[in-house]
Amino acid sequence: MPDSIRLSLPNGRIELSWPPTLEDDPDVHKLYTDSRVVQYLPFWDPNASLESVIQRRTTRLPNLLGTVGFIFMSLENRATEAGIIIHPEAQRAGYASEALYLCLKHGFDSKDEGGLGFNRIMFTTAAMNKAMRGWLENALGAKHEGTLREAWKSGDEFIDAVQYSILAREWFHGGSEQRLRQRVEEAITKSNSQASAS
């Protein structure tokens, strides 16, 4: 794995970078303790200390909009799980699509192309997270693989989680990469039009 990673689109609005820096920690802490974010991540402590958040940081964005990255990588099986958190103030503006496009492209691109060469990328989210589920199904075309019954503790209850996945062949040849890239380009164009109009 390289010492650092920087991913962005030519006309993109965001940059994904790794490793994170100490300057990111206060923004990450604010994001990870926002009640609108942790409602779908019941295994996180909404009262987490800054020190505990420092241990969880996974990515850095200028004017931090969120975090995105891979967890539970199996290089032998060329498989991983992707995760994303976007600040509620930045949701519904295409930033999640842009960030996940960059992340998935890096994950599926071959090592010769500077990517990781994964064959399979999985997502797990709360069953009640309708926005993420809709994005996975409609924007990405990921396949629902199953429900993990009462998988996560939320307060005094247990809630279901759902799993989705996308395969390299679906990304490259099934239309997922093209569909998501088009969605990202439309969001960037809309954002640039709004910026020039103001």
Q: How many CA within 13 A on the CB side of residue 42?
A: 17
Q: Looking at residue 51, what is its pLDDT?
A: 72
Cβ-based burial of 112 (10 A; exposed 0-12, middle 13-18, buried ≥19): exposed
Distance CA 118, CA 77 (A): 8
Query: Residue 86, SS3?
Result: strand
Distance CA 104, CA 102 (A): 6
Task: Return the percentage of the chain with pLDDT > 70, whole number.
Answer: 83
Give, to the nearest 10 degrees, the angle between helix 95-108 and helix 176-197. 140
pLDDT, tens only, 140-166: 999 999 999 999 988 899 999 999 999
- pTM of whole model > 0.75? no
Q: What is the mean pLDDT of residues 75-95?
A: 87
Question: Does the structure show a pLDDT above 90 at 104?
Answer: yes
pLDDT, tens only, 25-59: 777 777 777 777 776 666 666 777 777 666 555 43
